[in-house]
Structure 1
């Protein structure tokens, strides 16, 4: 099983380890270097905030992009903060669940393409929705490169990503996209928390579903009101709806 996560806008302010070194999926080293160099160049230009889609209040974030090569790093598991990661709680997983997370969790990134939770990177600011000069839209840039690396990974794909990041890799019919609903309507303010909780529950229970039906059954057993959608067209992901209330996520 693979669990796909988006990054978060909220990140740790600084690292505590050595500067940037080798990351997982080493075949992505050259594409990563191109994005990194372009991001550093853009971040020191006059139109940096506009190009990166940042407000004036986020101008101090540009300094992080300028220090990418020498800045202290920290594991991706500690870098990303925010609602989804707070509810996933990577730091408090049991040893067995942590080992499963090392193998199955993939975090998508506009700068790095994709990371495992143990990859050490510095804080940065770059969304997958940005178009960089000479690179273009990052989702389109990363799509063929990530497909070459990730298509070969086996297992059912549990997709917790937001739309911006799903465009960077589309696993097709072996993927199950998790939607969060309340009163039959898709919600956003509870979706991140619920997805984080579901990812944690799957890691802690040790289940290894190989089909969408097995995934739905496991989540139902874990106390979630999960409902698998109809079989999709060939090459399209399945949809699994999780119904929540304001009071709690599991039923």
Structure 2
């Protein structure tokens, strides 16, 4: 089983890990694409005003230009600890024990804009780049990443992929055709069974779900395995058309 997570715009600063090592990241075939995006971001950062404009930074967030300038030399944190925000606060990886964090390392990729999908325990620096940003010197990020990420995921060869990414990040690397995958939508049911999609609680539910998987050490190889695990753990998950699933909260 492979779980794909979106990143978060907010990140924990600093870190105590060694600087970014592109050769140590998951999906090693993405190394040249990672290097190209990093080079473009570092170059952009030489002009703070232009970088702030391109990255759509408020005055309060202009310090993130310096984060991009230091991508090659800054300290790192495991990706699962670098990101903050609703999903990652709910996952709360810092409170998991070594075995549970090892489960995350084996089964979870977080899909970043500058590095592509990285392993949950891969060390990454703080940065600022969103999926929809157009970076001078690069084609659209979708053109940079989509085909390369899909190929890399195919090589990874997971028997079942649980896709919890936002649609913007799915566009940066669709799951390969033919792979058993489920794109998860989080919904709630109102009176009369009316279903309504969620926004804020969508992220919270995804974080809770991944935490529950890690706590259980789930051994899941197929869609049927996941549905059986979810039902046994008290989650309401429904199969939907086109391979999607609804997580009802």
TM, length-normalised to structure 1: 0.88
Q: Using the alignment, how far apart are the partners of 1:128 and 1:134 within structure 2?
A: 16
1:50: which partner in 2?
53
Residue 150 of structure 2 is aligned to residue 159 of structure 1: no
2:212: which partner in 1?
201
- Superposed counterparts of 1:31-50, under 5 Å: 31-45=33-47, 46-50=49-53
2:123: which partner in 1?
120
Q: Paired residue for 2:188, among 172, 175, 182?
A: 182
Q: Paired residue for 2:92, among 74, 89, 92?
A: 89
Count of residue pairs the alignment pairs up: 238
Alpha-carbon deviation of 1:186? 0.6
The structure with more helix, counted as a fraction of residues: 2
- Superposed counterparts of 1:1-251, under 5 Å: 1-21=1-21, 22-24=23-25, 25-45=27-47, 46-153=49-156, 154-171=158-175, 172=177, 173-183=179-189, 184-230=195-241, 232=242, 238-244=243-249
Helix, strand or coil for the counterpart of 2:18? coil
Q: Write out per-residue CA displacement over residues 142-188 of structure 1, whole angstroms, 9 at most, x where no aligned residue.
A: 11111221112222001111111111121145111111112211111
Alpha-carbon deviation of 1:120? 1.4
- What stretches of structure 1 of length at least 5 have no aligned partner? 233-237, 245-251
172-181 or 58-67, larger mean C-alpha shift: 172-181
Q: Using the alignment, how far apart are the partners of 1:98 and 1:18 within structure 2?
A: 19
Alpha-carbon deviation of 1:50? 2.5
158-167 or 196-205, larger mean C-alpha shift: 196-205
Alpha-carbon deviation of 1:241? 0.8
Alpha-carbon deviation of 1:218? 1.7
Contact 1:76 1:118 in 2 (8 A): yes
Q: Write out per-residue CA displacement over residues 87-121 of structure 1, whole angstroms, 9 at most, x where no aligned residue.
A: 11222224333222111100111111111122112
Q: Using the alignment, how far apart are the partners of 2:16 and 2:101 within structure 1?
A: 21
Q: Write out per-residue CA displacement over residues 11-56 of structure 1, whole angstroms, 9 at most, x where no aligned residue.
A: 1111123222233233322211111110111123232223223333
Alpha-carbon deviation of 1:75? 1.6
Given the superposition, is the C-alpha separation of residues 19 and 96 from structure 1 closer, same or farther in structure 2, using an over 3 Å criterion? closer
TM, length-normalised to structure 2: 0.89
Q: Write out per-residue CA displacement over residues 198-249 of structure 1, whole angstroms, 9 at most, x where no aligned residue.
A: 111122223333333432232121111221113x2xxxxx2111221xxxxx
Q: Using the alignment, how far apart are the partners of 2:19 and 2:236 within structure 1?
A: 44
Helix, strand or coil for the counterpart of 1:131? coil
156-165 or 72-81, larger mean C-alpha shift: 72-81
